[in-house]
């Protein structure tokens, strides 16, 4: 599939998927009589406990669908990962855009949200996952285009380790408030220095890998 056709397909699919997920969230909140502004503290009951288990399954199914998009479009692991990153980024941004259209939430990029539940609750201001999604779309598009043209990103062990380390720092910043949330408390300070450090390390790994794939580097590092 040509790059432009593949990119259009990924964007359309991910944005439509975001519409579906945000609509489901609105329906569930209306059925339970809650609003996005009442996310914290986390509510606990037998009913919500079973719903939480279903929500974890839904999140896992979402990841499976996004990975499937990359798997079908790519021929190598590099472009499969690239297209999965693009799909994830478009879906995540689209999710918040549709929620804002439907119910006027989030009120601003500083609004806090529960981002993920696997294996513990992730929380943070909306601007943080938005920044991750923008990076995933940007780097993913460049990687997919270059891989399709035969200029494979050169990852190497050092760059790969840096990418993983950066990602773990980002996840750690999101999970930092998990103990407070699980104990029925409110989220506290978002450790943005940890988040920024993780984004910087992962972005460095992506940039260097892409440059090496373009022929400006030497041996994979």
* Per-residue pLDDT reduced to its tens digit, 22-76: 999 899 888 878 888 888 888 765 445 567 788 888 889 999 999 999 999 988 8
Cis amide prior to 119 (ω within 30 degrees): yes
Residue 192 forms part of a structural domain: yes
* Per-residue pLDDT reduced to its tens digit, 157-177: 999 999 999 999 999 999 999
* Per-residue pLDDT reduced to its tens digit, 69-116: 999 998 888 999 999 999 999 999 999 999 999 999 999 999 999 999
Please give the average per-residue pLDDT across 192-212, as a whole number: 96
- For 120, the domain range is 3-213
Residue 219 forms part of a structural domain: no
- Cβ–Cβ < 8 Å for 179, 188: no
Cα separation, 66 vs 89, in Å, equals 10
**189 — alpha (psi -120 to 50), left (phi > 0) or beta?**
beta
Residue 204 forms part of a structural domain: yes
> Number of H helices and number of E strands within the chain?
7, 2
Provide the domain count of the chain: 1
Residue 208 forms part of a structural domain: yes
Cα separation, 13 vs 16, in Å, equals 5
Residue 67 forms part of a structural domain: yes
Residue 33 forms part of a structural domain: yes
The DSSP bridge pattern shows strands 112-116 and 122-125 to be antiparallel
Residue 218 forms part of a structural domain: no
Residue 173 forms part of a structural domain: yes
Cα separation, 158 vs 25, in Å, equals 40
């Amino acid at each position: 599939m040509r790059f432009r056709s593949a990119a259009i397909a990924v964007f359309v699919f991910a944005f439509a998927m975001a519409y579906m997920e945000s609509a489901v969230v609105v329906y569930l909140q209306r059925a339970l009589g809650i609003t996005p502004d009442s996310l914290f503290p986390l509510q606990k009951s037998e009913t919500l406990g079973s719903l939480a288990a279903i929500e974890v399954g839904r999140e896992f199914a979402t990841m499976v669908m996004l990975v499937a998009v990359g798997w079908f479009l790519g021929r190598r692991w590099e472009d499969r990962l690239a297209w999965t990153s693009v799909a994830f980024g478009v879906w995540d941004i689209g999710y918040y855009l549709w929620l804002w259209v439907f119910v006027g939430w989030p009120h601003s990029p500083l609004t806090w949200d529960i981002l993920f539940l696997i294996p513990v609750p992730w929380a943070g201001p909306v601007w943080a996952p938005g920044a991750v999604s923008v990076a995933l779309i940007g780097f993913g598009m460049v990687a997919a285009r270059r891989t399709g043209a035969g200029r494979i990103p050169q990852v190497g062990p050092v760059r790969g380790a840096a990418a993983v380390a950066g990602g773990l720092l980002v996840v750690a910043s999101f999970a930092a408030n998990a103990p407070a949330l699980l104990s029925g408390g409110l989220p506290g300070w978002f450790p943005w220095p940890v988040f920024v450090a993780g984004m910087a390390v992962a972005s460095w790994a992506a940039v260097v890998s892409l440059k090496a794939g373009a022929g400006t580097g030497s041996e994979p590092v």
